[in-house]
Amino acid sequence: MKPTRASLLLPLVMVVLAACGGDHPMSTFIAHSDLTREINAIYSRIFWWTALLFLLVQGGLIYVVLRFRAKGTETANPEQVHGNIRLELTWTILPIFILMHIAIPTVSLIFKSQAQTTEENAVLVNALGKQWWFAFEYPELGVTTANEMHVPLGTEIEVRLQSDNVIHSFWVPQLMAKRDMVPGRVNHIKFKAEKLGEFYGQCAEYCGDSHALMKFRVVVDTPEDFAKWIASQKAPAETEAATAQAGFQAFQGAGCVACHAINGTTAAAVIGPDLTHVGSRTMIASGILENNEENLKKWIKDPPGVKPGSKMPNLNLSDEQVASLAAYLQTLK
């Protein structure tokens, strides 16, 4: 039997509908903050206004087609109409009313989400877009980290967005709307997380070779766990004595000190990510590799091979140097 158009379109429709459902990590329809909840409310409002307009327009069209269709007995031209003031006012005023009903809450939310913090216990985070990773600084708490931002549950978070190279876009679909990181400009975004857990983030503005590999995570902790995390990040890295000396010598010998910092050592550069507590992070290479010794070796051995265009060069290290560095970095917790 020859397939019909409907049978050919059905699988496509099913795929599209399946893509709209489920608690996917990058779904914009799953709200876990006050900001994304309000954004979804605006989405819903736009959807229902659009559905109403569709029904009105299509209903009117069907009525006109049926009511005024030719019946085959007409002998004269239909009456010519040169305007209808009531209809013209209606289809001018009604769209204005609908657009204002959408625009006012949308613009209000944009200004609300980028206002500076007002609550006493609010947490300020400076997020800096790099090529191709994210640096996070808590200026009021004395903590700097990379690619993994921790925030306390139910607390107002103000993120100040900057870039020191090209335009990036900071996006955590379930917690925050997209907002650009523009060189020479500071943008703001404010939210309160409403659920504990890890949430995926991504650069959403094409920024070069590894744009698609520029990822990060936001970890929502209880206020108590967040305080413990801050305390641990402010302390020097705890490392095993057996690997500390040999590992740091390899760190110096390979030239890593030229780009990275490790608190409690002489390494204090700020070009690359701060590695003080890199062993405690869940991911490396800006969120594309699980943080374990084998992946660290892979990353250290050939960074551009893992992430095209990586600013971290291939230093042509020996297997022994790579193993020593990976073992040392894994102990920095």
Is 5 a member of any domain? no
Q: d(Cα 194, Cα 197) in Å, to the nearest integer?
A: 10
One domain for residues 249 and 172: no
Per-residue confidence (pLDDT) for residue 119, from 0 to 100: 85
One domain for residues 171 and 297: no
One domain for residues 178 and 292: no
Residue 258: exposure state from Cβ atoms within 10 A (0-12, 13-18, ≥19): exposed
Please tell me which residue, 332 or 247, carries the higher pLDDT value.
332
Choose one of 161, 192, 222: the last residue of a domain: 222
Q: Is the pLDDT of residue 21 over 70?
A: no
One domain for residues 208 and 245: no
Average pLDDT over residues 296-300: 93
Is 6 a member of any domain? no
One domain for residues 143 and 259: no
One domain for residues 183 and 285: no
pLDDT band at 267 (very low <50, low <70, confident <90, very high): confident
Which of 21-30, 62-71, 269-278, 307-316 has the lowest average pLDDT? 21-30
**Count of other CB atoms within 10 angstroms of residue 213:** 20
Per-residue confidence (pLDDT) for residue 172, from 0 to 100: 96
Q: Which residues contact 208 (CB under 8 A, 6 or more apart)?
A: 131, 132, 166, 309
One domain for residues 129 and 102: yes
One domain for residues 46 and 172: yes
Q: Is the pLDDT of residue 251 over 60?
A: yes
Is 232 a member of any domain? no
Per-residue confidence (pLDDT) for residue 205, from 0 to 100: 94
Please tell me which residue, 69 or 141, carries the higher pLDDT value.
141
Per-residue confidence (pLDDT) for residue 274, from 0 to 100: 92
Do 125 and 179 meet the contact criterion of CB atoms below 8 Å apart?
no
Encoded tokens for 184: 């020479």
Is 302 a member of any domain? yes
One domain for residues 120 and 204: yes
Q: Is the pLDDT of residue 240 over 80?
A: no
pLDDT digits 0-9 by tens, 272-286: 999 999 989 999 999
Per-residue confidence (pLDDT) for residue 69, from 0 to 100: 82
Distances (CA, A) of 299 to 303, 313, 326: 5, 10, 9
Per-residue confidence (pLDDT) for residue 246, from 0 to 100: 75
Per-residue confidence (pLDDT) for residue 1, from 0 to 100: 52
Is 15 a member of any domain? no
Do 332 and 154 meet the contact criterion of CB atoms below 8 Å apart?
no
Which of 112-121, 242-251, 300-309 has the lowest average pLDDT? 242-251
Q: Which ranges of the chain would DSSP assign to H, the alpha helix? A: 5-19, 34-67, 85-113, 223-234, 241-253, 293-301, 303-306, 319-330
Is 21 a member of any domain? no
Per-residue confidence (pLDDT) for residue 244, from 0 to 100: 66
One domain for residues 38 and 162: yes
One domain for residues 197 and 259: no
Q: Is the pLDDT of residue 19 over 60?
A: no
Q: Of all residues in the chain, what percent carry a pLDDT higher than 70?
A: 91
pLDDT digits 0-9 by tens, 99-148: 898 899 999 999 988 888 778 899 999 999 999 999 999 999 999 999 99
Is 204 a member of any domain? yes
Q: What's the whole-model pTM score?
A: 0.82
Averaged pLDDT score across all residues of the chain: 88
Q: Using alpha carbons, select from 257, 132, 310 the residue that is nearest to residue 301.
A: 310
Per-residue confidence (pLDDT) for residue 265, from 0 to 100: 83
Per-residue confidence (pLDDT) for residue 25, from 0 to 100: 82
**Count of other CB atoms within 10 angstroms of residue 189:** 23
Q: Of all residues in the chain, what percent carry a pLDDT higher than 90?
A: 57
Q: How many domains does one find in the chain?
A: 2
Choose one of 164, 195, 222: the last residue of a domain: 222
Is 20 a member of any domain? no
Per-residue confidence (pLDDT) for residue 239, from 0 to 100: 66
One domain for residues 205 and 320: no
Q: Using alpha carbons, select from 136, 232, 216, 141 the residue that is nearest to residue 172.
A: 216
Average pLDDT over residues 168-175: 96
Give the structural domain span for 295: 241-330
CATH of the domain at 251: 2.60.40.420
